[in-house]
Amino acid sequence: MFPEPCLAAARLLLDACRARGVRLATAESCTGGLVAACLTEHAGSSAVLDRGWVVYDNRAKIELLGVRPETLAGFGAVSERCARELVLGALERSGCGLALAVTGIAGPGGGSAEKPVGLVHLAAARRDGPLLHRRCLFAGDRRAVRLASVETVLALALEALDSAGAPPDPTIG
């Protein structure tokens, strides 16, 4: 179902979380649950994966994870600000030690000159640790964009888990 690079990234993250006793939550928009599905391809993933939200609609982002309506109105769902609010909402609502978030435009439609198809914002945050963000522009069809997002956000979550630094700013600016 998943290409080997995605499965390998999931395995690395699961092993690192298990070794540290850290539980994980996911907040997904354009990947529609693929991150959680990739993680659960591995036996024993229930020792790490606590929960996941698929918040495809903006209303779900607001109601379930606390994304501010002002963020969506001012920056859009496909933005760094939204990705940061998604990951902080997942951390807060789950009580997990690590969370990740994905929001983007997988295509084939929905893009614009400012936000083209393939634009994805990823975030990962560790409780009492750093919040990392990546803006990516992936090439290919819808499947390629979504799978590249899965692989990249899993690697970003591992980076957040291993990072030292200031805790995420809950006010986000």
Write down the residue that tokens 């978030």 correspond to.
101
Q: Which residue has the higher pLDDT, 1 or 88?
A: 88
State in Å, rounded, how far the first CA of the chain is from the last one. 39
Tokens of 27: 């907040």
Share above pLDDT 70 across residues of the chain, in percent, rounded to a whole number:
94
Residue pLDDT, tens place only, 110-165: 999 999 999 999 999 999 899 999 999 999 999 999 999 999 999 999 999 998 65
Interatomic CA distance for residues 155 and 128, integer angstroms: 19
- Which pLDDT tens digit goes with each residue over 50-75? 999 999 999 999 999 999 999 999 99
Q: 6-52 pLDDT, tens per residue?
A: 999 999 999 999 999 999 999 999 999 999 999 999 999 999 999 99
Describe the strand order of the beta sheet including 24-28 as a list of residue ranges: 49-54, 24-28, 98-104, 119-126, 131-137
CA triple 116-121-123, angle to 5 deg? 175
Structure tokens at 80: 């760094």
- State which H helix or E strand residue 126 sits in: strand 119-126
Percent of the chain with pLDDT strictly greater than 90? 92
Tokens of 99: 């969370």
* Cα–Cα distance, 104 to 21 (Å, whole number): 30
Q: What value, to the nearest 5°, has the Cα angle with vertex 68 and ends 56 and 10?
A: 45
Domains annotated on the chain, with CATH = 4-162 (3.90.950.20)
DSSP 167: P
- Contact between 77 and 121 under an 8 Å Cβ cutoff? The reply is no
Provide the whole-model pTM.
0.94
